[in-house]
Amino acid sequence: MFAKKSWIVGLAIAVLVAGIAVAAQTEGGKRVAKRVSKMLNPDWTTEKGTYDQPAATLGEKPAQPWTETTVNAGVNKQPLKGEIVTVTGEVIDLSCYLQLGKHGAKHKDCGIKCLRAGQPIGLLSEDGSVYVLMEEEHDPRRDGKTSLRDAAIEHFAQIVQVTGTSTTVDGQKALYVQGFVKQ
């Protein structure tokens, strides 16, 4: 019985070591960890753009993480800490991705309908991280005077580069994008 358990433990260790070896690759003669994606249904490809050559750029790089309207709306005029970042990812609708794992060109018609119906806009990065995309400017966003949703619909199922202010609360990532206030 002991020999059988030892054999099983040995096999498990061998599988683990083999898995680690497979997850490593070389780059410039040095061993580096292979990127592992948490993306759901990675075989559902996008319509346009790649992570190396995005189809479009969304958002203006702000001078400060938050605009005046956002600071003024903050509790004691103190919005949460934000960091200006640029993220490359696929424009998705969060409702279908988080419920069904759907994204990409196969899901374009449904996804656009979902965004038009007001479902949340998302950005799916290459490593599988998901960001909620929202307009940064608080008052115009609240008052319906922004057009990020139109840009998301135009670029749905495409890989784009988005610049904005990133926040994370209890693991939920958001990217607040400037440049979509209607004139």
What is the pLDDT at residue 23? Answer: 39
60-79 confidence digits (pLDDT tens):
999 999 999 999 999 999 99
Largest CA distance in the chain: 77
Residue-wise pLDDT tens digits, 9-62: 443 443 333 343 333 344 455 544 445 678 888 888 899 999 999 999 999 999
CB count within 10 Å of CB 30 equals 7
Radius of gyration of the chain (CA): 21
pLDDT cut 70: percent of the chain above it: 80
pTM above 0.85, yes or no: no
Q: Can you tell me the distance from the alpha carbon of 49 to that of 105, in angstroms, rounded to the nearest whole number?
A: 12
10 Å CB burial of residue 12 (0-12, 13-18, 19+) is: exposed
Condensed to tens digits (0 to 9), the pLDDT of residues 94-111 reads 999 999 999 999 999 999
Q: How many CB atoms lie within 10 A of CB 8?
A: 10
Q: How confident is the model at residue 3 (pLDDT cuts 50, 70, 90)?
A: low
**pLDDT score of 13:** 43
